[in-house]
Chains A and B, each alone.
Chain A
Amino acid sequence: MPKVLLVDDSKFSRGRLRAALTGLAADISEATNGLEALEQLAIVTPDVIVTDLLMPGMNGLELLTELRTRELTTPVIIVSADIQESTKSACAQYGVQAFLNKPFTAAELRDAVEAALAAGTAPARSAVVGTAP
């Protein structure tokens, strides 16, 4: 069963992420920031990471930096309220699988996670980031 790690400081948002993935045959775990995510990564490597950007402790971009520094190729999906084009470009530099804006629909997230699972590894850096319609 594939493993999906959800990283968001908001309990409300984590609940929405988890609810959106209901029906997906996956083992879902949660972390409240990048540091917690890295702690979990030391034990189990997920198949997909779904992360917010703005979080206390370690934010999403810092988590991405750390993942790439460790040469981990786990696909990452960004789910953020930040709608700036410059932010999407910054994330593309890290080769994220998809960039979804909050609020997302369940179908958007499910499709993105399934595509990431099918891809298996993160796309090359600066690849075009998929966005929600």
Chain B
Amino acid sequence: MTESVTSLDPDASDLLTELVTIGVGRAAAALSELVGERVELTVPRVHLVPLLCPLDGARSPDGLLTDGVSTVVIQDFQGTVRGRASLAFLRSSALALGNLLSDSEVTTTHVDLEVGGILLEVGNIVLNAVLGSLSNEAALTLEYSLPHLFSDGPVLPRLLPQSAGEEHLLIADVEFVVRNRNIAGTLAIVFAGGCVDLLLSRAARRWSPDGREEVPLLRMTRRNGFHDIPTGQLPHR
């Protein structure tokens, strides 16, 4: 059980959920275009966890971030806000996705060079769709580093910065199904200290009718539990 978690103002929670929903919806659309198939999304769950709290607090429902042997694409971003984004798959999902997009049938049981190249490009497109959407909606400017692929363990240690400060981990658990194959992915983004505040205040100002709303929306409080932001059903494609 965590001691310290982030409490969001209800308006901030609503805004963050909306921002993520738009981004994930765009990412699903991009994936659908890529595979040429309908992509269906389950109800996503969005969590915001301060990295100062024990890692148990960052456990995603499927355990993929902390427990699973997964394949993950990681991409750093910097600019108006900075941080690190990841898209993780269970190995079975990674191979299924590689098989779907490869010119030839994938027969290996591990992520080889060809499948890795495909996953890197898929991760780049999906993460750019989410981050780019956040950037556009909040009028930010981001620069991306080259994505990297890891296929040998849980995701969370790879997401953590060298020295943890007031970073926040934004987890969007999104399960999507591609053409009768269960291909599940988990999206996670670490924002550097103060960046979630900046993201929300910029978006709030941009979305307000008079363009003037700029209020601190994120408040740190101490309470037990895990902040869990329910989100609605995303539009299917």
Chain A residues within an 8 Å CB radius of B117: 10-12
In the bound complex, how far is the Cα of B106 from the Cα of A12, in angstroms?
A: 14
Interface residues of B in 87-132 (CB under 8 A from A): 101, 103, 114, 117-118, 120-121, 124-125, 128-129, 132
> Do A84 and B125 touch (CB < 8 A)?
no
Interface residues of A in 98-114 (CB under 8 A from B): 101-105
The one of B135, B136, B146 in contact with A56, judged by C-beta atoms closer than 8 angstroms, is B146
Residue of A with least CB distance to B118: A12
Chain A residues within an 8 Å CB radius of B101: 12
Q: Is the interface of A mostly helix, strand, loop or mixed?
A: loop
Residue of A with least CB distance to B125: A81
Counted as pairs of residues, one from A and one from B, with CB atoms less than 8 Å apart, the total is 57
The one of B103, B125, B135, B146 in contact with A15, judged by C-beta atoms closer than 8 angstroms, is B103
> Do A102 and B136 touch (CB < 8 A)?
no
> Do B133 and A83 touch (CB < 8 A)?
yes
Which interface class (under 10, 10 to 19, 20 to 34, 35 or more) fits A?
20 to 34
In the bound complex, how far is the Cα of B231 from the Cα of A116, in angstroms?
A: 43
In the bound complex, how far is the Cα of B136 from the Cα of A86, in angstroms?
A: 8
> Do B144 and A82 touch (CB < 8 A)?
yes
Chain B residues within an 8 Å CB radius of A82: 128, 132, 144
26 contacts across the A-B interface (CB closer than 8 A):
A10-B120, A11-B114, A12-B101, A12-B117, A13-B121, A54-B146, A55-B146, A56-B146, A81-B124, A81-B128, A82-B128, A82-B132, A82-B144, A83-B133, A83-B136, A84-B132, A84-B142, A85-B136, A86-B135, A86-B140, A87-B132, A102-B30, A102-B124, A102-B125, A102-B128, A105-B33
Other A-B pairs beyond A12-B117, A82-B132, 10, CB < 8 Å: A10-B120, A11-B114, A11-B117, A54-B124, A83-B26, A83-B136, A84-B132, A84-B142, A86-B135, A102-B30
Q: Which residues of B contact A (CB under 8 A)?
A: 26, 30, 33-34, 101, 103, 114, 117-118, 120-121, 124-125, 128-129, 132-133, 135-136, 140-142, 144, 146
